[in-house]
Amino acid sequence: MMEKILSQIKSRGYWRVNFRPLIIEEKLKLPQCKNIVEKNQVEYRGWYYPHVPHRSDNDTDLILGNNYCEGWINWGAHKEIWRMYQSGQFIHYRATEEDWYKEDDWYNNSPFKDIESGTILSVLSALYLITEIFEFLSRLAKNGLYKEGVGIDIGLNKTARRKLVMLDPMRVPLWDQYKTKIDGIPFTAQYSNEQIIQNAREEALEVIIHIFHRFGWENPPTGIFKSDQEKLITRKLF
């Protein structure tokens, strides 16, 4: 099943996230692989990052391997699979939800239903997701997982010919057409334990600006994005 959901995720746009301890001091015990993800998962928008399944059926499951815990779900536009290894390495594949609105019954009465796969990247969705990723990483670091620092890779894949859009009807649409011809946008960095604990939100903003620059958006409004991050974290989006 893991190969099937991973293949489906990779068939359209998707995010790949990887955390790696720079030095492995003490391996997690196998049950800790699940517990540390569940304890530190982020829930700002009604959907956890990452999603830890609590049932086992055709749509979702939680599996213990020889040296990792794996969770996956395939439900509407929510398609993801993650692993936490005993080494502390975390890897996560997550579908770009915008590419699956047409197949998701949740959006039957929404204008999002008309969005064609592979055509857009939601500005706010990307900003919120990257902020959640770094908050999750920060929580793991606070719990002692990356005492000697962490390497991080974040990749947005199958991006060619996409454009940035503002899907929130209460927000002013983007004035320009920001598109990319790049088929993949990678970001790689290393952080100390203190950096990621103290500056997670700022580091997340650096990543989102990195991505938007590759769509040709030269001067994204960082002040507004900081306000959006604050609203997300304090759950004042609505």
Domain ranges of the chain: 2-233
Q: 28 to each of 9, 31, 87, 236, how far by Cα in Å? A: 28, 8, 6, 36
Each of the 238 residues of the chain gets a pLDDT tens digit; together they read: 677 899 999 999 999 999 999 998 889 999 999 999 999 999 998 889 999 999 999 899 999 999 999 999 999 999 999 999 999 999 999 999 999 998 878 777 777 888 899 999 999 999 999 999 999 999 999 999 999 999 999 999 999 999 999 988 778 889 889 999 999 999 999 999 999 999 999 999 999 999 999 999 999 999 999 999 999 999 877 6
Identity at 222, one-letter amino acid code: T
Angle between helical axes of 123-142 and 30-40 (0-180°, round to 10): 130
Angle between helical axes of 123-142 and 200-213 (0-180°, round to 10): 150
User: What are the helix and strand counts (H, E) for the chain?
Assistant: 6, 11
Q: Which residues contact 11 (CB under 8 A, 6 or more apart)?
A: none
- Interatomic CA distance for residues 136 and 43, integer angstroms: 10
Q: Give which of 114, 110, 124, 103 is closest to 44, Cα–Cα.
A: 124
Structure-block tokens of residue 151: 């390497």
Contact 8, 79 (CB under 8 A): yes
